Structure formats: structure tokens, C-alpha cells
């Protein structure tokens, strides 16, 4: 059969589940579709990626957020064939030999998780491997990395999820998580093993609980080609969205440092965003120490215990720089632990951003309070995943706060019909717009590390991708159907920045000097990136003569 016929046969099977079920996020057949796609992935990789790339808008919500969350929750039952590598705490001392047993000669991209904070679903132990697989699917579909060169990894140090520990079908170690030095020793051994066999590999850390996310990032980022997607990828996407929201208000981007931003959630994602947003503001204000210091007063961070102030006991050191001064908070009618609704009421923010993992946190009361925003067009970012964990839905946001808002969410929602021919745009603000470009851009530049400048360049290119016209209509992120094109731009920006910072050592037969030459011309960088992209084509088996 021709590949078109094969795909047609496959699609008939897949589409039979689509009777009354075209609504991706709440699709009752999502899990069944995932199973059909997963079996195709096992049987015929080329065809799987052909289907995924050609229908990315429809099937990203199946292989990625939100369905991948459901898949992880049920992984022990859904598991049929292994994909990726599992390193357990019991493999200590053996990881190097295990890595040398991996059949592929070259691995370019690893996504690793320890399953401790999967989306907003908490500790799913070894079942979190689904997230690493889903992220790498996007690497192949969006960044055009060769699927033979990717490796999903699960580091199984146990789980603190009591339900899983009691489940006889649970596939992981039936013990509580290792902690402290024992935990670090396992991750260190894994890092040493993979970088010994594949010195040029890039390791993306994914869905590690915040407690370890920052520590591991600091531990490895200056010596290894690694990044944490939840901290750094999310920060970049949020910055692009925040700058879009400023433009949507009809103001120049340079007004960003005047925005008042309330953030609900002080974990790896929330703190990653406020850190990066503060740096962006400081840069816009002249990059002085004073600018950096004063930029922090634009943020009000609220966690499970309410507003964080300097009165907070045992404050997390990563959140400390953003603790509000108690006296100053008092003058605003706020105090340590003020509730989210109180904070929104008193601050009247331009932006309300949720990375709390708590579905429905932006309640009617909170959204009502946001009506008092001093902004002409307040922005609501309900970024927690999967769908059920979103802080609010676009319907709630538009119906309560009004038509004149910007809305973005981590998982996909449909646009809202506002009546009289108007559409309320539901943007998907998800790190998927950046991580593939950051990873592959780093690979193609041969940079030894992933610098703040490279991450910043990626975010700025995403921000610039949206046109003025689109922004004024309320679109701050592009549709996912454009992800391959966006990723190409992001990759090119990352390569160029690595060259500018003198970090690029080249890739394969392109050495540092040649790369420098390529980077002098915008078209040539894009061409370099494009030529390195893998596309799903069957290899030729029979060559015809003549």
C-alpha cells in the first residue's frame, strides 16, 4: 500500500471514536485514542509521526496535555511495551553499564523525570514516564529531531503516593522516596553515565517537585547541557505572554515594568516566572542594580498560605526575594497570609497569573475582584495543567470579568463565542512553544551550557512571532498548528545567541567558525536549522534504475 492508503486505513480506526467527541480537552474517548496512537507508535514510527505532524492541533491534546495526565495516572494498567529507560534506586553502581546497553548509538535529547510532580496531579511515581514520552513526541513533531535519537528517562527513587504503594499493579519501586544526599547521589550517577556515553546530549528535567527542581538546576546548569523546562521553559513562555498582554492593551512593550502582577503559586513554575519577569523588567529599565531591586515590587506572590511577606516563617529561600515588606503591605490593606481575593481587590492588578495546580482557584469572587483592575484590558493566565487543574475556564473569565480581557491557559480550551460575532480568544500558554526550540537550538549550536541569554532570546522570538493585528484581537500565543514554524524561529534565535555569547562549539561537520559565518545572515541560520530537521519518510528500499 502507498503511505497515503496506510494513513487512510489508520485514520478510519482512529476517527470511529469521534462520534460526538470532537472536543479535545473533554473528549470522553481521549484515552482510547491515546491507545490507538500508542500502538501505532510501537508498530510504525514513521507513520505515527506523519499522522501527528499532519494533525498536530487535534492530537497534541492526546499525546500531550491534557490526556497525557490521565495516561500517567493509569500507566500501570495501560502499560504494554516499555519505551525509554528506567533507572531505579536499586540500580546504584550499575547506571554506567545500563547506559552503554541502550541500543541506539547516538542520543541527542533526553527528557528525564522522577515522577514527583506530574502536571498538577502530584506524585505519580514511575507512571510519570508518560510525560517524558509526550514531551519527546513534541520534540520530534515540532523541532524535527530524529526519533531514533531521543530517550525518555524515569528515575525511580520510590513514591510518596500511598495509593500507588498499595496498588499491586504499580510498576515502580514499592518504597517511599529517597531524599537528601541519597537522592542526589542517584541523580549524579545518572548524569555522569549519560554524559559519559553521549557527551553532546541535552538533558531536559521535567516535572520534578519544586523542592529539587531549583537545587538540581543550580547543581548542573553551569557544567552540563541541561535545563529545567518547568522553571525555565515556563518562564520564557510566560514572559512572551506577558509582553503580548502589554501590547494587547495598546501600550508599547517598554511599559512592561509598570505592570502589577499577582501570581498564585510559588513552586518551580511560579517562582521561575517571577524571577524571569523581574529580570526582563530590570533590563528594560537600564539593567542597573537599582532597577533590579525596584522591579520586584511589581509582584505579589500568593501561595497555599496566602500572600507571602517578610513575616513568613520558614520561608522558602527561592520565594524570599519576592516576600512583600509587611509595613508596605499594611499601607495597601494587606498582611502576611492575605487571601488571593483580598490581594486582587487591593492591588487591582494588570495580570493575574495562576501556577498553583489548583483547579477553580480563580473563583467567581476572585474574578469579580479583578473587575476592579486598573488595566484597560486585564490579563488572566490560568496556566495549571491538566484541564481540571486550570485556575478558571475561559467561559468563566469572559463571562465574569467581561469581554475586554486577555485569556491564556496551560491546557487547550476552545475560544468563547461572545455573541454579536465577537470571539473571546483562548490562548494556550504552554512551555511546548519553547522547550523544543531551546533543546534543538542548543544541540545545533554545540553550546556547552544553556545560558540565560539563550533562554531570553527564545522568549523574545516567541513574543515577536505574533503580529500587531493578532495581538489586538486578543491572541498572544500562536495556534499550535504553527508549532513547527515557531520552533524553527526559536531554534535559530538560540543558535545565534550561543554564537554571540561565544558558547557555540559547532555541531557535526559545522565547526564554530563556520557557524559564526552562517549566523551573520538570518536566512542562512534558518536554512541551517531547517536542513537539520527530520521528517517522517519511509527509507527507500528499492532503487529504480535510470
Ligand X SMILES: O=C(O)C[C@H](O)C(=O)O
Ligand Y SMILES: NC(=O)c1ccc[n+]([C@@H]2O[C@H](COP(=O)([O-])OP(=O)(O)OC[C@H]3O[C@@H](n4cnc5c(N)ncnc54)[C@H](O)[C@@H]3O)[C@@H](O)[C@H]2O)c1
Active site residues: 64, 135
Strand partners, 152: 111
Sign for the CA dihedral angle at 310, 315, 321, 324 comes to: negative
Q: Should residue 270 be labelled a site residue for ligand Y when binding is judged by CB under 6 A?
A: yes
Q: Should residue 385 be labelled a site residue for ligand Y when binding is judged by CB under 6 A?
A: yes
Residue 117 known to bind ligand: yes
Minimum distance from residue 139 beta carbon to ligand X (Å): 13
When the beta carbons of 455 and 519 are compared against ligand X, the nearer one is: 455
- Dig out the grid coordinates for 227 from the structure: 535545563
> Between the CA of residue 425 and those of 16, 381, 403, 471, what are the distances in Å?
30, 12, 10, 10
Strand partners, 86: 154
d(CA 99, CA 197): 7
Among 114, 230, 396, 470, binds ligand X (CB under 6 A): 230
Among 206, 230, 460, 489, binds ligand Y (CB under 6 A): 230
Residue 447 contacts which entry, Mg ion, ligand X, ligand Y, none (Cβ below 5-8 A, type-dependent): none
Q: Should residue 161 be labelled a site residue for ligand X when binding is judged by CB under 6 A?
A: no
Among 95, 107, 119, 366, binds ligand Y (CB under 6 A): 119
> How many residues make contact with ligand Y (CB under 6 A)?
31
d(CA 270, CA 358): 13
Looking at residues 59 to 88 of the shown chain, list those that interact with ligand X (rule: CB under 6 A): 65
Among 60, 187, 237, 282, binds ligand Y (CB under 6 A): 237
Sign for the CA dihedral angle at 348, 351, 355, 359 comes to: positive
Cα–chain-centroid distance for residue 316?
Answer: 23
Residue 327 known to bind ligand: no
Q: Which span sits near Mg ion by CB under 5 A: 54-62, 190-198, 203-211, 325-333?
A: 203-211
Among 385, 393, 451, 532, binds ligand X (CB under 6 A): 385
| Residue 273 and residue 238 in contact, taking contact as beta carbons nearer than 8 Å | yes
Q: Which span sits near ligand Y by CB under 6 A: 96-104, 240-248, 299-307, 518-526?
A: 299-307
Burial of 427: CB neighbours in 10 Å, binned 0-12, 13-18, 19+ = buried
> Between the CA of residue 420 and those of 234, 403, 425, what are the distances in Å?
35, 12, 15
Residue 230 known to bind ligand: yes
Among 193, 226, 361, 438, binds ligand Y (CB under 6 A): 361
d(CA 245, CA 260): 12
Looking at residues 403 to 432 of the shown chain, list those that interact with ligand Y (rule: CB under 6 A): 410, 429-431
Burial of 227: CB neighbours in 10 Å, binned 0-12, 13-18, 19+ = buried
| Residue 186 and residue 178 in contact, taking contact as beta carbons nearer than 8 Å | yes
Site string for Mg ion, 221-260 (x = CB under 5 A): ---------x------------------------------
Residue 502 known to bind ligand: no
Residue 430 known to bind ligand: yes
| Interface positions with ligand X (CB under 6 A) | 65, 119, 207, 229-230, 385, 410, 430-431
| Interface positions with ligand Y (CB under 6 A) | 117, 119-120, 210, 230, 234, 237, 264-270, 302-304, 340, 355-358, 361, 383-385, 389, 410, 429-431
Amino acid at each position: 500500500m502507498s503511505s497515503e492508503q496506510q494513513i487512510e486505513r489508520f485514520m478510519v480506526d482512529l476517527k470511529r471514536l469521534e462520534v460526538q467527541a470532537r472536543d479535545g480537552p473533554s473528549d470522553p474517548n481521549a484515552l482510547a485514542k491515546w491507545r490507538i496512537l500508542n500502538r501505532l507508535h510501537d508498530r510504525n514510527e514513521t507513520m505515527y509521526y506523519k499522522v501527528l505532524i499532519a494533525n498536530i492541533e487535534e492530537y497534541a491534546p492526546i499525546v500531550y496535555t491534557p490526556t497525557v495526565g490521565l495516561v500517567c495516572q493509569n500507566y500501570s494498567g495501560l502499560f504494554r511495551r516499555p519505551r525509554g529507560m528506567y533507572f531505579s534506586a536499586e540500580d546504584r553502581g550499575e547506571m554506567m553499564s545500563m547506559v552503554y546497553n541502550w541500543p541506539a548509538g547516538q542520543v541527542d535529547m533526553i527528557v528525564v523525570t522522577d515522577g514527583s510532580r506530574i502536571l498538577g496531579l502530584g506524585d505519580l511515581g514511575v507512571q510519570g514516564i508518560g510525560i517524558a514520552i509526550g514531551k519527546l513526541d513534541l520534540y520530534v513533531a515540532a523541532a524535527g529531531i530524529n526519533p531514533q535519537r531521543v530517550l525518555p528517562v524515569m528515575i525511580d527513587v520510590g513514591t510518596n503516593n500511598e495509593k500507588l504503594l498499595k496498588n499491586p499493579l504499580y510498576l515502580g519501586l514499592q518504597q517511599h522516596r529517597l531524599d537528601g544526599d541519597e537522592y542526589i547521589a542517584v541523580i549524579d550517577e545518572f548524569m555522569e553515565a549519560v554524559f559519559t556515553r553521549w557527551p553532546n546530549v541535552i538533558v531536559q528535567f521535567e516535572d520534578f517537585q519544586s523542592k529539587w527542581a531549583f537545587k538540581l538546576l543550580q547543581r548542573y546548569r553551569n557544567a552540563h547541557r541541561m535545563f529545567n523546562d518547568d522553571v525555565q521553559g515556563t518562564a520564557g513562555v510566560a514572559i512572551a505572554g506577558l509582553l503580548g498582554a502589554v501590547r494587547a492593551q495598546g501600550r508599547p512593550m517598554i511599559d512592561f515594568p509598570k505592570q502589577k502582577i499577582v501570581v498564585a503559586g510559588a513552586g518551580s513554575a511560579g517562582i521561575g516566572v517571577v524571577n524571569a519577569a523581574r529580570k526582563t523588567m530590570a533590563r528594560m529599565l537600564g539593567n542597573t542594580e537599582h532597577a533590579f531591586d525596584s522591579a520586584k515590587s511589581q509582584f505579589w506572590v500568593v501561595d497555599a498560605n496566602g500572600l507571602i511577606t517578610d513575616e513568613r516563617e520558614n520561608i522558602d529561600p527561592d520565594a524570599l526575594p519576592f516576600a512583600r515588606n509587611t509595613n508596605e503591605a499594611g499601607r495597601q490593606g494587606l498582611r502576611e497570609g492575605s487571601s488571593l481575593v483580598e490581594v486582587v481587590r487591593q492591588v487591582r492588578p494588570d495580570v493575574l497569573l495562576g501556577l498553583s495546580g489548583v483547579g477553580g482557584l480563580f473563583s467567581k469572587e476572585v474574578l469579580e475582584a479583578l473587575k476592579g483592575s486598573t488595566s484597560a484590558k486585564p490579563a488572566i493566565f490560568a496556566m495549571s495543567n491538566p484541564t481540571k487543574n486550570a485556575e478558571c475556564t475561559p467561559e468563566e473569565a469572559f463571562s465574569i470579568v467581561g469581554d475586554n480581557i486577555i485569556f491564556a491557559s496551560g491546557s487547550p480550551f476552545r475560544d468563547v463565542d461572545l455573541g454579536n460575532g465577537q470571539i473571546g480568544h483562548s490562548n494556550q500558554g504552554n512551555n511546548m512553544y519553547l522547550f523544543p526550540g531551546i533543546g534543538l537550538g542548543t544541540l545545533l549550536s554545540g553550546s556547552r551550557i544553556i545560558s540565560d541569554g539563550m533562554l531570553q532570546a527564545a522568549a523574545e522570538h516567541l513574543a515577536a512571532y505574533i503580529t500587531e493585528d493578532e495581538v489586538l484581537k486578543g491572541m498572544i500565543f500562536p495556534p499550535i498548528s504553527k508549532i513547527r514554524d515557531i520552533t524553527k524561529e526559536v531554534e535559530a534565535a538560540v543558535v545565534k545567541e550561543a554564537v554571540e555569547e561565544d558558547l557555540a562549539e559547532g555541531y557535526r561537520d559545522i565547526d564554530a567558525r563556520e557557524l559564526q559565518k552562517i549566523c551573520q545572515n538570518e536566512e542562512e541560520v534558518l536554512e541551517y536549522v531547517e536542513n537539520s530537521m527530520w521528517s517522517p519518510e519511509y527509507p527507500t528500499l528499492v532503487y529504480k534504475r535510470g
